Structure 1
Amino acid sequence: MTPSCTPCVNRNNECVYQQMQRRRGPGRSKMYIQALEERLSKMEAVLSQAGLPRPGAPPTRVSPSETDAASVSVFAGPPVTSGTTAGPNPSTDAQQAGFAQASTDHPMVDEAGPSIPRMSQNSSEQSDQRGSQTPAPPPRDIPEPPKQLSNKMPVFAVIASRMREVNTASYCSTFNRQVFTPRLEREEAITMLMPLYDDVIDNYPLLNFHYFVRHFEKLPEADNTFNNTSGWAYMNAVISVGTRRKSINNAFQDVCQLAWPFFKNAFSVLTELMVKGTDLLAVQAIVAMAVFMQGTTCMRTAALLSSSAARLSQSIGLHRQPCVMMSMCVQDVEARSRVFWAAYILEKEMGLNHGLDSIQDDDDIETELPSGRGDGVDVLNLRAKLAMVESSIRRRLYTAKGLRLTDDDLVKAIIDLDALLEEWRSSLPAELQPSYEPRTASPDIASDILNLHLAFFRCTMMVHWAARRHNQYPTMAVLVGTSGGFEMPYIQLSFSQKRCRMAAHATIGLFRTISTPQYADLWRILCYPLCASLTLLTDVLENPGCSRARGDLAATRSFAHFLQKFEKSEGCDLKRVLTACAFLQRTAQRAVDDAQNMMHAQNLVVNDGPGVPLIPGFNLSEDAQVLQALLGAATHPMYLVQGLMGTLPNRDQRLITRLAHLLGTPLESGKPGSPLGPQPLQPETYGFGFGQGQAGSDPTANWS
C-alpha cells in the first residue's frame, strides 16, 4: 500500500511520497530511561549505606576513604522492576542528560546480562616473583553522581568529570614485580656468587653472608628460600655488591652495567619487604642494598634504605629477646643478633655523618651484642660498640638541643664522650688499636679494620670540633703561654684543638697504608679524608702564621697526590674532587706564605700562637676570607663534605651551595648528581630512576 498523508486524503488528491533522510536518530526508548533511573536508585542506595544522611536525620560525617570505596563499588547489574515512574522535573532531566552523555561516550552494557564479578583477593597472589602480573577486570562505567551528592561531596563531581572509566590497573590487588635480568635459577645464582664469597665476607661484614649462604645451598628448603621475596632480594643485592667489588677500575662502568640490574631486582621488592617482611633475610637484604648505594652519589636512597632496615628490624622484634630464645639453636640466636646490629650500625653511621635522627632508642635494646664466629676478634662486635658511642655523640652534641649547650655543659659533654672513645679504643687488642702516631710503611691494612679506624677518628674529630662553639675558643690562641691559659676551660679547649688535628692527620695517614682501592669503595670512604683535610685547612686559615701550618698543608697535599695517582693509574673520574682539592690547597698555601713572609719582615717569631689578628697589617685574600668564614660557620666539616659528595641535604645546605660555587664545582640546576660526584657513580647512568613507563611492560625486552 502506497503511503499517503492526511491532507491529501482529505482533498482526494494523489499523494506523492518521497522518503527523506533522517537527520536525527531514534529517540531514547522508555526502557532505556527506566534502566537509567534504576541505576540511579542503586547508586543512591549504595551511597546511603556509605553514610549519606536521610532527610530529617542528623548530619553525619563520611570519611574520604569510605566515599571513594562507595563510588567505585557501583557498576552495572540486572534491572530491578520499579513500581512507579518519577515525574519529569528539572533535576531529573539534568541527571538524565548527564547519563545520556556518558552513554554516548561509552556504550552501555546490556543490563539484562550477567553482572561483572569482583576480583578475588586470592586470584591476585603472584606465585612467581619474577614479573608475573594479575589479570585485570573489564572497564566499568562511572555514572554521574546525584546533584545533592555533588554539592555535599565535590570529589564525586571531579571523579565523574575526569574519569569516564576506571583504569583497569586500579583494580589489581597487588603491585606487579619487575625483573631486570634474565630468568635466574637458584643453582645459577649460587654459581655466580661463590667466586665472590671471600670478597663479600672480608670487605662487607654488615652483610653477614657467611651466616646466610647455607640457606641457599645446603638446606632442604633452599629453593623456597631463594624463591620467596626476602631470599630473592638478598641474593640479588649480594650479587650486585660482589660483582661491583670484583670489577677492575679501568672497566668499572662496563662491569657496573652488569651489577646494577641485580640491584634493581632487589630494590623493586623494597615495598613488599617493608610491608610483608617477617624474617632475618628481609632486614639483611635492605642492609645489603644500603651498602651498595653508599658507593654512589645517591645518599638519599642510602639513607632511606638504612632507616628502612632499622624500622623493619624493630617491626619484627629483633631488638627484643624472643620468648622462644631458649629453644633456639646457638647459630640462629647469633644470626638474629648480627642482623639487628648490622642495621643498627648502618643507621647510626648515616645519622652521624648526615645529621639524621635515629629510629632506634639506645635505652630500648634487649638484644645482646654479636659474640663472633669462632676464634679471633669479631669486627662486627667492635663496630657495634663504636656505633653506640656514635649515637651518644649525635645525641649530646649534634641535635638541636646539643647545639645550644652552655659552655660548662659543652665542656662536660666533650670530656665524657672523649672518655667513651678512649675506653672503646683501649678495649681493642693492641695490634688493632687506632694510633694517633704517624704510621710507618706496613702491609696493607684489612678493609674492615680500615673502616673501623676511619670511623673512630671521625668520631674523635666530631667530638672535639664542638669545642669551637665555646665562647672563649677565639681567645685561646691569645692566652697560650700566659697564666690565663692554664685555667680549666682553656686547657680543655687547647686539648680539643690538638686532638682534632691529631685525628685528622691519622685519618690521612691511613691512606698511605692501603694499596689501590676499588673505585666505589674509595668513594664510600672518601668522606673521611676530605673531612680531615677541611679540619686541617680550617686551622691553617685561622692561624696561617703558626709553625704547624706548613705541616698541615703537607698532609692535605699528600692526600691530593694520592687521588691524582689513583685517577691517572686507574682511569677513574675524580676531576671534580681534584679541582676542589686544588683550590683549597692553593688558597691555604697563599695565606701561609703571605702571613709568614710578613712575620719575617716584621721580625716576629713563628710559633704555635699567632693567629691572623696578631700579625700587624696582615689580611687574608678575599677567597681565603670567604673560605674561612664558610668553614668556621659549619656545624662540622663532615656535613659540608657529605653535601658536596651526595644528594642528601643537611643542616649546612646553604653553606654547601656557596662552597660548591667557591670551589668551582657548582651543581647545574636540573641535572642529577652532586657537586663532586663523577658520572660513573651516579645511579642515573645505569637507568636507576623513576619515569612514567607503560604498566606491564617487559623490563627484560632489551636482554638477548
Structure 2
Amino acid sequence: MKWVSERVGASDFAASASTLSLDVTRNLKMDRKISQQRVPDPDPATAWRYTQAYFEESLDKVFGVVHRPMFEARLQAHFQQENIEEDSAWYALRNTVYASGCKIVHTKEDRPNAFVEAQEKAWSYFENALSVHTDLIYMRTGLSAVQALLAMAFYTEGLGNPALEYMLVSNTLRLAQSKGLHRQPVETWNMREPEIQHRNWLFWAIYAYEKHIAYRSGRPSAIDDDDISSEIPTAVLAGSAINFDFFICVIKHAQIGSSIARELCSVKASKQTPDVIIQKAHEVERRLREWKDSIPPHLRPDLPFNQAYLPPGTHLYHIIYLHFAFYGSLIAIHSVFTYPWNVNGFTRNPTPAVREQINTSTQTVVDASRKIILATKYIDANGSWPTWLTFFYPLLGLINLFIYVLKFPNQPSAPADIALMDVVAGHFGFLEFASNSKIAFPFTGEITSLARATVKKARERVVGGPEQQMDPPAPMTLMAEPQLQQGGVESLYSMGEVRPNTSSSHNEMFNQPDNFSFLQFGGLDSMDIGLENWPSFLPSFSRVSSMAMNGLLGDEELDFIPMN
C-alpha cells in the first residue's frame, strides 16, 4: 500500500485496500454461531428437485464426489423408512446436496431478492450438515464421511457463503489419509477394482481441490506429494458424472501447482541462489506449458472460447477453469521476480541474467493478467458459481495489471490496460446488481480511477516538461519512452533514462504531515487483519514476501521496462 500510494501521490489506495481487505477477510469465518434449531428435510418432491439440480447443474459434479445412483437409491430408502437411527455422514451428505440444489434452484428465480433468499434458505440446510461436523471427524465412519466433508467444502465455494473451504478441505484430507486413501490398496486388502477406482477418484479430487485452495489462500498445503502412491484412475465408474478428460487435466495441473509452491514460493526456496531460483522457474514453466499443450482440443483454454462444439458433460466452466489455472500459475511463477516492493534486484549488483529474468517475468505477468481479464466476459454471474471463478481470478488479473500500469504509466499499452481494468470493474458491478448489493467491492472501480489519473499525470509531465508538472513524479519515472523501442532495457540503463527521482518536490511531499504516511494508518494492525486472514488477500503477494527477508534482495531498485 505504501508503494502504490507513493506512485499515485495520494492516500486513496490505502483506504480502498483497507476496505477490500476487511471485506475479504471477514468472510473467512462465520459471523454468528450455528443455530441450535435443525430444519427438517424438505418434502419428497422438493428434495428430489434439489437433488436433480445438484447432479445436473452444480459445477463440482464433474469430480464425482457423490455417486448419483447410490445417493438416489439411499434417498429413496430414506423417504420410505421411518424411525430409523440417523447416520451422521448420511445426514451431512444429504443436507449438503439439499443446500447446493436449493441455491441453484432459487437463485435462478426471476424475482427481487432471489439471491438473498436462496442464500438464507440453503444455509439452513448447510447448518444441518455442520451440526454433525464433530461426529464426522471423531466418530467411527466410512468413506461417506469423507464424501460429506468434501461436498461441504465445495458448497462453501459458492458466492456469498462464508469461506470455510480451507478448514473443511483440511479436515477432509486428514480423514482421507487416516483411511489410507493416499495409498494404493495392496492385494491383501482384497478390494474389488470398482472400489479401488472409487477410492482413487475420491483421493485425487481431494488432492486437486486442496492444492487449489492452498494456492488461492496463500497458505501451505497439508499434502506431501512424496508420500502418495494412489494411482490416477484410468476409467470412470458406471453412473458417475466424472468428466474424465477435465478431471485428469485438473489433477495434473494441481501437481504442477504443488511444484510451484515447493520450488519457488516456500521458505526453503527463498534461501536458494538467484541462478537456482531462475533455473527452477524455467523448469516449472516448461512443465506448465507442456500441460497446456496436452489438453484435449475441446477443452483447450485459448481465447476466444469455442462453445459450439462442447461434447455432452462438458461445460464452458471447465474451459474457463483451465484458462484461469494456466495463466494464474504463470503469475505465481513469475511474480517472484516482478513485485516492485520485493524486486530490488536479487543482488546488490544484479547480473545480466537477473535483469533479463525480471524483464521477461514482468511481461509474462502482465500478459497473463490481460488473458484472465479477457475471459471474464464469459462468466455468467450466478450465486451458485464458485468464488474462484467470479471473484478471485478477476481480482488477481486486475491488481497485477494495476501494478503494471503504475510502474510504467507511459507505456503505449496503458490506455488499453485501463480499459481492461474497466471490464473487471463492470464485472464486479454486475455481481453487485445480481446479488441485490449483498456482494459489493467498490475497490475495483476505485483503483481503476487511480490508474487512469496516474497515467494522465505521467503523460502531462512528459508533454509539458518539468515546468508544468502539477504533481511530483513517481519514485521511478520513464523519461524517454520512445527510445525503448530502439534500444530496449540495456539502452535505457546505458543512457540513464530510468533513474530514481530525488527531486526536492517529491521528498517534500512525502515529508509533509498533511500528506500520506504509511505510519498514519498504523501499519497492518490498524486494519484489524489477523495473521490468520492476511494471506488470503492475494496469495501470490504474501508468498513472495519471504524473498526479501532472506537476503536475496538488495537495495537498488530495478524497475525494468519490458519491450512491447
What is the TM-score with the length of structure 1 in the denominator? 0.56
**1:291 aligned partner:** 154
Identify if the C-alpha distance between structure 1 residues 627 and 512 changes in structure 2 by more than 3 Å, giving closer, same or farther: farther
Q: 1:214 aligns with which of 58, 70, 73?
A: 70
Q: Is the 8 A contact 1:226 1:235 kept in 2?
A: no
Q: Is the 8 A contact 1:508 1:529 kept in 2?
A: yes
- State percent identity of aligned pairs: 23
1:267 and 1:572 mapped to 2: Cα distance?
Answer: 27
**1:521 aligned partner:** 385
5+ residue gaps, structure 2, are: 1-34, 466-478, 543-564
Give how far 1:357 is off: 2.3
**2:333 aligned partner:** 463
**1:315 aligned partner:** 178
Q: Is the 8 A contact 1:203 1:448 kept in 2?
A: no
Q: 1:423 aligns with which of 285, 290, 306?
A: 290
Identify if the C-alpha distance between structure 1 residues 470 and 594 changes in structure 2 by more than 3 Å, giving closer, same or farther: closer
**1:334 aligned partner:** 197
Q: Is the 8 A contact 1:599 1:605 kept in 2?
A: no
1:261-313 Cα distance to aligned partner (Å, 9 max, x none):
21111111111111125422211111111112223567663211010001010
2:350 paired with 1:452: no
**1:648 aligned partner:** 533
Identify if the C-alpha distance between structure 1 residues 571 and 471 changes in structure 2 by more than 3 Å, giving closer, same or farther: closer
**2:57 aligned partner:** 199
1:627 and 1:506 mapped to 2: Cα distance?
Answer: 35
Give the number of the structure whose residues are more often helix, by fraction: 2
SS at the partner of 1:519? coil
Q: 2:398 aligns with which of 533, 540, 543?
A: 533
**1:593 aligned partner:** 456
Letter in 1 for 2:369: A
**1:381 aligned partner:** 248
Q: Is the 8 A contact 1:233 1:285 kept in 2?
A: yes
1:520 and 1:368 mapped to 2: Cα distance?
Answer: 32
1:553 and 1:347 mapped to 2: Cα distance?
Answer: 34
Letter in 1 for 2:96: A
1:309 and 1:501 mapped to 2: Cα distance?
Answer: 36
Q: Is the 8 A contact 1:372 1:378 kept in 2?
A: no
2:131 paired with 1:268: yes
The 5 Å alignment of 1:219-368 reads: 227-248=86-107, 250-295=113-158, 301-324=164-187, 327-368=190-231
Answer 1 or 2: higher relative contact order, Cα 8 Å, separation at least 6.
Answer: 2
Give how far 1:556 is off: 1.0
SS at the partner of 1:498? helix
1:504 and 1:393 mapped to 2: Cα distance?
Answer: 18
**2:424 aligned partner:** 559
5+ residue gaps, structure 1, are: 1-176, 635-642, 658-704
Identify if the C-alpha distance between structure 1 residues 188 and 573 changes in structure 2 by more than 3 Å, giving closer, same or farther: closer
Q: Root-mean-square deviation (CA), in Å?
A: 4.3
Q: Is the 8 A contact 1:338 1:370 kept in 2?
A: yes
Count of matched residue pairs? 454
Identify if the C-alpha distance between structure 1 residues 188 and 585 changes in structure 2 by more than 3 Å, giving closer, same or farther: closer
Letter in 2 for 1:517: A
**1:495 aligned partner:** 360
Letter in 2 for 1:237: T
2:435 and 2:230 mapped to 1: Cα distance?
Answer: 45
Give how far 1:533 is off: 0.8
SS at the partner of 2:220? coil
Q: Is the 8 A contact 1:410 1:470 kept in 2?
A: no
What is the TM-score with the length of structure 2 in the denominator? 0.69
Identify if the C-alpha distance between structure 1 residues 471 and 288 changes in structure 2 by more than 3 Å, giving closer, same or farther: closer
| Greater C-alpha radius of gyration | 1
Identify if the C-alpha distance between structure 1 residues 472 and 323 changes in structure 2 by more than 3 Å, giving closer, same or farther: closer
1:653 and 1:429 mapped to 2: Cα distance?
Answer: 30
Letter in 2 for 1:452: L
Q: Is the 8 A contact 2:217 2:535 kept in 1?
A: yes
1:627 and 1:237 mapped to 2: Cα distance?
Answer: 48
Which is further off, 442-451 or 424-433? 442-451
SS at the partner of 1:537? helix
Q: Is the 8 A contact 1:189 1:235 kept in 2?
A: no
Letter in 2 for 1:270: H
Which is further off, 505-514 or 214-223? 214-223
